[in-house]
Amino acid sequence: MSTFLPYGRQWIDEDDIAAVAAVLRGDWLTQGPTVDAFEADIARLTSARFAVAFSNGTTALHAACAALGLGPEDEVITTPITFTASANCVRYVGATPVLVDIEAKAATIDPARLEAAIGPKTRAIIPVHYAGQPARMEEISAIAKRHGLAILDDAAHALGATVGGSPIGSGRFSDMTMFSFHPVKHVTTGEGGAITTNDEKLRDALRLFRSHGITRDPARLHAPSPGPWYQEQILLGHNFRLTDIQAALGRSQLGKLERFVARRREIAARYDALFQPVRGVEPVGRLEGTEHAFHLYVVRIDFAGLGKSRAEVMIALRERGIGTQVHYVPVHHHPSYADRGWGPGSFPVADAFYAEALSIPMFPAMQDADVDRVVSALVEVLGV
């Protein structure tokens, strides 16, 4: 039987293992110099002034919302086509998420609908760079500036992507940007995340929040320090720290980012060409002025028109050694958001997208023959 192809997976080499082993043999397993070096690497690669590492992307989003000072009187706009963390982070600080429908072409938040959703309580926007396709950040940034809103872009999928020639995470169009280092992402730390920003005050707020809200900084202490042991908890933070073990893996992986992203783009181009003549299957569109990072390769399949259910297609592909996934169950479909008054039908473009979306294998270790095999199997299963 052919090797099973998951929809995504990490690529770990011996040099990655050696980097981790070196930290394990050293003096610092956490709160040490490797985390600082990893943050510097992220900032350099994204052209940002600062990067702050976190235990995962969700905690990074939570900390960013706290750093913005969001609270119970505030609303934050995001998209229904995302992992729930993009909306949950707003709720973690007591604020209210407001969803805005996507545009059909690229499944990113629709700027044409965005401005109409802004109200007197709106404080921030969380655009999501879906699948590695940057949202329309120039338009979103212009809207945010008109209304005095902060932008925290969710770039969990988009490390290595660009908008208008600028790297996602550079801060050109946003106040903060979140990245994820889960194993299926472009580079991995096992679990991990980061926020990039150009604002020193936001950086300091992020660092404080990720480490219990505790500081030794004499300028921030409420009482004079009686000695070198002294520290104060000045706000209710969390332990959201990344370890030096994880940071060592991340540093090694970041050295391969350019190669990984280039290969993802080659795979996407091959998929594009092979799907061109296939009836009922359409790759999700791309936006001009951007470079896609292809965390995912998502196709829209006319399941109804082809007389197939998505479940049976996924099961049949798995039987042929091919893993697939659906990204995502829309935020407004989840029972934990039922009290918001949303449900299926609330966001028709997102619902239409969800009904047809399927993520097929996309990871840099794939060979051209693997891409051909995925397409051939999908054509066979769909009968087209």
Q: Is the pLDDT of residue 349 over 60?
A: yes
In this structure, are 167 and 265 located in the same domain? no
Note whether 108 and 237 are same-domain residues: yes
Same domain assignment for residues 196 and 337? no
* One-letter amino acid for residue 155 of the chain: A
Question: Looking at residue 114, which CATH number applies to its domain?
Answer: 3.40.640.10
Query: Does residue 135 form part of some domain?
Result: yes
Q: Which residues pair with 357 in a beta bridge?
A: 300
pLDDT class for 344, splitting at 50, 70, 90?
Answer: confident
- pLDDT of 149 strictly over 70: yes
* C-alpha dist (Å) from residue 115 to 79, 171, 194, 196, 361: 13, 21, 28, 25, 36
Reported confidence tier of residue 299, pLDDT bands at 50, 70, 90: very high
Residue 348: inside a domain, yes or no? yes
Number of CB atoms found within 10 A of residue 210's CB? 25
Q: What is the pLDDT of residue 1?
A: 52
- Alpha carbons 70 and 62: distance in angstroms, whole number: 10
Q: What mean pLDDT is predicted for residues 277-304?
A: 97
Neighbours of 226 (CB within 10 A): 7
Instruction: Tell me which residue of 355, 257, 372 sits closest to 308, measured CA to CA.
Output: 355
**Is the per-residue pLDDT at 345 higher than 90?**
no
Determine what percent of the chain is predicted with pLDDT higher than 90: 97
- Tell me, yes or no, whether 226 and 285 share the same domain: no
Question: What does the mean pLDDT of the chain come to?
Answer: 97
Q: Is residue 196 part of a domain?
A: yes
Determine the pLDDT at residue 122.
98
Which residue range forms the structural domain that includes residue 173?
A: 14-254
Q: Is the peptide bond before 328 cis (omega within 30 degrees of 0)?
A: yes
| Neighbouring C-beta atoms of residue 74, cutoff 10 Å | 18
| 109 and 198 both lie in a single domain | yes
Strands 162-163 and 193-197: what pairing?
unpaired
pLDDT at position 297: 98
Q: How far apart are CA 93 and CA 206, in angstroms?
A: 14
Is 121 known to be catalytic? no
Q: What is the 3-state secondary structure (H, E, C) of 153-203?
A: EECCCCCCCEECCEECCCCCCCCEEEEECCCCCCCCCCCCEEEEECCHHHH
> pLDDT > 70: what percent of the chain?
100
| Per-residue pLDDT at 343 exceeds 90 | no
288 phi and psi angles, rounded to 5 deg: -65, 150
Last residue of a domain, one of 221, 254, 287: 254
Using the predicted structure, report yes or no on whether residue 302 has a pLDDT greater than 60.
yes
pLDDT value at residue 195: 99
Quick one: DSSP state of residue 288?
Answer: T
Residue 200 CB burial class (10 angstroms; 0-12, 13-18, ≥19): exposed
Please give the pLDDT value at position 370.
Answer: 98
Same domain, 24 and 164: yes
Query: CATH number, domain at 368?
Result: 3.90.1150.10
pLDDT of residue 61: 98
One domain for residues 85 and 234: yes
Answer yes or no: is 3 within a domain.
no
- Whether 307 maps to a domain, the answer reads yes
SS3 258: helix
Residues 292 and 367 placed together within one structural domain of the fold: yes
Domain count, the chain: 2
Residues 247 and 282 in one domain: no
pTM over 0.85: yes
Provide the residue count of the chain: 384
* Residue 5 lies inside a defined structural domain of this protein: no
Q: Which of 105, 121, 145, 185 is catalytic?
A: 185
Question: What does the alpha-carbon distance between residue 133 and residue 102 come to, in Å, rounded to a whole number?
Answer: 13
Q: Is there a contact between 64 and 179 (Cβ–Cβ < 8 Å)?
A: no
Going by the DSSP 8-state scheme, the letter that residue 6 receives in this structure is -
Is residue 284 located within the same domain as residue 350?
yes
Identify whether 154 is part of a domain.
yes
Q: Tell me, what DSSP letter sits at residue 188? A: -
Token pair for 172: 């050109």
pLDDT at res. 144: 98
- Tell me: the pLDDT tens digits for 67-95? 999 999 999 999 999 999 999 999 999 99
Q: Is 341 left (phi over 0), alpha (psi -120 to 50) or beta?
A: left
Residues 40, 54 within the same domain: yes
Show the DSSP H helices in 68-136 as ranges.
85-92, 111-114
Q: Which of 218, 236, 254 is the last residue of a domain?
A: 254
pLDDT digits (tens, 9 = 90+) for 131-145: 999 999 999 999 999
Residues 234 and 360 in one domain: no
Residue 359, domain member (yes or no)? yes
Q: Residue 2 pLDDT more than 80?
A: no
pLDDT per position as a tens digit, 161-191: 999 999 999 999 999 999 999 999 999 999 9
Burial of 184 (0-12, 13-18, 19+ CB in 10 A): middle
Q: Which residue type occupies 51?
A: A
Yes or no: say if 67 and 74 are a contact pair by the CB < 8 Å rule.
Answer: no
Residue that finishes a domain, picked among 230, 254, 278: 254
